[in-house]
Amino acid sequence: MFYNQQLQELTQKFSTDLKNGLTDKQVKENLEKYGPNELKKTQKQSILLRFILQFKDALTIILIIAAIISIVVEPTEWIDSAIIIIVVIINAILGLVQESNAERSLEALQKMASPKAKVIRNGITITIDTSKVVPGDLLVLEAGDSIASDGRLIEAFNLKVDESALTGESVPVEKTSELIDREDVPLAERTNMVHASCNVTYGRGVALVTTTGEDNEVGKIATMLQQTKNQNTPLQDQLDQIGKSIGVICIVICIVVFFMEMLSGLTVLEAFKTAIALAVAAIPEGLATVVTVVLALSVQRMVKKNAIIKSLPAVETLGSTSIVCSDKTGTLTQNKMTVVKTYLYKLQIESIEMCSKETNELLNYFTLCSDGSISNVDGKEILIGDPTETALVKASLEKGFTKEKLSQEYPRFNELAFDSDRKMMTVFVKHEGKVLSITKGGPDVIFSRCKDLDLDEVTKVNEAMSNEALRVLALGIRYWQEEPGEITSELVENNLTFIGMVGMIDPPRQEAKQAIAEAKKAGVRTIMITGDHVITASAIARNLGILESNQKAVMGSELEKMSDVQLADHIEEYSVYARVAPEHKVRIVKAWKSKGKIVAMTGDGVNDSPALKTADIGCAMGITGTDVAKGAASMILTDDNFATIITSIKEGRGIFDNIKKDVQFLLSSNIGEVITIFGASVISLITSFDFGVPLLPIHLLWVNLITDSLPAFALGMEPTEPDVMERKPRKKDENFFSEGLGFTIAWQGVMIGVLTLIAYAIGNQMDHLTGMTMAFITLCGCQLVHAFNVKSHHSILNKRLFNNIYLWGALVIGILLQVILILIPQLSSIFKLQCLNVTQWLICIGLCLLTVVICEIVKLCHRGK
């Protein structure tokens, strides 16, 4: 292992120079030998295989079989079969195009997020893409850097690294360049190593890159995750089930109709043609394509709202989310520690806005005793260093004191760096010819090092600030005649004069508070999971409306003592989980899922990946999230904002509504076609009327491909209804056709079928061609108009009637195409249609508009219940 090897061995292994780094030639050789510093992408299926997989749907297979049998039985009637095959191929191409678009969108995101690294090559420090880092490179590390690859430290100056993304350890790890002379050292204890996807929080260092890409520690985890198979979402399962059910029903009805036609005196060929027409009528060819396109368009729309959905069907799952488990820092809060309260010794606690001149001096002392800095680059504020320290620098800056100006007035010349044992930091500055030491640290530690201190008073102040969930720092100073010869904690950090304290907090996002309230109204419960102290977490949770009077906060240590069964039994009591390690998140998700809830989980670290994968919807942070977390998640928040999750749930509900509308519209339309064909067969069998076949397969294919698909696409773009977040979430096991949807589809299909048969019967009195033409126009018209009935479960006779221009466009295009089909002789002869007189047109239009009247009456009766 690299942590227990001598540096000389490593330099020989990678042929590198510890001062000048690699040469360009060595970089090229190592890049060829080890490959780029990136995780291997999952091997893509070939375009041919993906195209073939578009035909695996049961309905598509039935259509293809019908077309083949038709052309074998009657080779001269090849046009209908050819159209069936063309329709199937068009649907496959559309599905393939949409899948490719979704993949390209995600790849574009990954390119945009390409991180940078600083390396020494040819003796010069340069900035390169992380993917171009190679073993043997000298990686330059500074506070605020994201570590590009695993490496062995050769220099470390007060270097601290946040390894929580990899190990789950919430406290930054102090690093050293010293050799570890032991075997089998746990990852968290390899203090002379740095790892990819971790962040430098303090100090600086130089590391010799030892591994890249999948050989990194983070790469090993990513490889395991890539081997995990994704499960189908509820929508995928339900649509598959719908397809299979329609297929079985279709085959049964076709067989029944075939024998009915035979009994009524038709030849085998004629009876078979009617059965083929019925198969075409029963199968909603465009359903899978319409749903795919609607989801793809919705995903593109959600990108504009800072949510990138990696899996199309996951959009639907979002809409049924009932539990959102969210991290606190950066998601519910601003991830910007902010000084909000100050205390000067012997005075009262003040708000930062009410600072006196003396308090400004306290803030300046804190700024001088910190290593954080704030700079302005192209108008953007860049904070470098520990968030606590940058908050102190920011507090002074807002009072008009820059750190640069203060450093000129109080030049620093020595220091005692912070360490976790002392919990203090001291700097030496010169001011007006005197030597001044400034010491900051935890209140209890500073109190014990101060002289002439009223301990009762300062303890009460500390408790008062802490009870407001503030992180409190205290400060003391000491003047010296000259710089002490030996700078030790025992000598320097004693006999201090106490100056005061500051209280800071990571403020909650205001938009998160509004989003939580909206979620609560929608029946979505928010759970806070954080590594912070339970007092801090509870205070922020109460402020945000997460923690209510009848709910509890629980510590990670208490979770450890609970079995999975106990946790599941009490899961609904807890709204806040504090001091929680990443591995606890999986248990929390599983406990909620055992209650039948659909769970969304946020995360940003490598160790969050199992929880993101376990949740129904994994939400990775786009800004602070690691590549592995993004890979495990089904959604990426590009703004790391909790409000985006709730916005996405709202969009998800609207999208699912639109998919239900599409299914309702397409299936009711297809049932209408089946009723038309089946009804004509029944009438011919049980009466003396020879009804014949009201619609040919070519008519039904036209209807399914054009008249059905255009409004269906438009319904998929329907704006989200205003009351969508006033409903409770759907249950996990809720049937797609619940709340009477199945019955609604059935009676609306019967309505369309009966109206079409009426038009056919009226036209058939003249001749069969007129009857077919009137049936064709009425069926098309009924479906175009019926799309407006489906657009809302409320009455459509309001201002929202005109809120979907795509639906009106589909109506206009649909009508124009029907008119063109009848008026152009070449087309009308192919479709076996003829021109109608004014009376016949008016009858067809009247029957089409009757669908609105019937549906409005039903909606009115439903509202009256």
Q: Which residues are catalytic?
A: 327
Calculate the alpha carbon distances from 323 to 556, 612, 645 in Å.
20, 14, 11
What is the distance between the alpha carbons of residues 34 and 132, in angstroms, rounded to a whole number? 11
What is the distance between the alpha carbons of residues 46 and 479, in angstroms, rounded to a whole number? 74
What is the distance between the alpha carbons of residues 344 and 340, in angstroms, rounded to a whole number? 14
Q: Give the DSSP H/E element, type plus range, for residue 711.
A: helix 709-716
Asked if 324 and 525 count as a contact pair (C-beta separation under 8 A), the reply is yes
Beta-carbon contacts of 440 under 8 Å, excluding residues fewer than 6 positions away, are 365, 366, 369, 370, 424, 425, 446, 473, 474, 475
If you compute the radius of gyration of the chain from its CA atoms, what whole number of angstroms results?
Answer: 35
Asked if 606 and 165 count as a contact pair (C-beta separation under 8 A), the reply is yes
What 3 state SS string does 561-610 have? HCCHHHHHHHHHHEEEEECCCHHHHHHHHHHHHCCCCCEEEEECCHHHHH
Beta-carbon contacts of 500 under 8 Å, excluding residues fewer than 6 positions away, are 342, 343, 344, 345, 359, 362, 474, 475
DSSP β-ladder status, 599-603 and 323-327:
parallel
What is the distance between the alpha carbons of residues 541 and 530, in angstroms, rounded to a whole number? 11
Closest listed residue to residue 318, CA positions, set 521, 619, 109, 628: 619
> Cα dihedral sign for 618, 622, 623, 629?
positive
**Residue 439 bridge partners (DSSP):** 426, 476
Q: How far is CA 47 from the centre of its chain?
A: 27
Residue 223 identity (one-letter amino acid): T
Asked if 705 and 666 count as a contact pair (C-beta separation under 8 A), the reply is no
Asked if 253 and 278 count as a contact pair (C-beta separation under 8 A), the reply is yes
Q: How far is CA 470 from the centre of its chain?
A: 32
Closest listed residue to residue 148, CA positions, set 197, 204, 188, 109: 197
Calculate the alpha carbon distances from 442 to 415, 503, 531 in Å.
18, 11, 19
Closest listed residue to residue 529, CA positions, set 513, 547, 548: 547
Long-range interactions of 835-844: CB distance < 8 A, separation 24+: 836/763, 836/770, 836/773, 836/774, 836/777, 840/762, 840/763, 840/770, 840/774, 841/777, 843/759, 843/762, 843/774, 844/759, 844/774, 844/777, 844/778, 844/781
What is the distance between the alpha carbons of residues 517 and 646, in angstroms, rounded to a whole number? 10
Asked if 431 and 421 count as a contact pair (C-beta separation under 8 A), the reply is no
Asked if 500 and 342 count as a contact pair (C-beta separation under 8 A), the reply is yes
CA dihedral of residues 730, 734, 735, 736 (deg, nearest 10): 20
Closest listed residue to residue 840, CA positions, set 791, 793, 789, 772: 772
497-505 β-sheet, strand order: 349-351, 338-344, 497-505, 471-480, 434-441, 424-431, 412-419
Residue with tokens 């998800």: 652
Q: Say whether 624 sits in a helix, a strand or coil.
A: coil
What is the distance between the alpha carbons of residues 695 and 670, in angstroms, rounded to a whole number? 13
Q: How far apart are the first and last CA of the chain?
A: 74
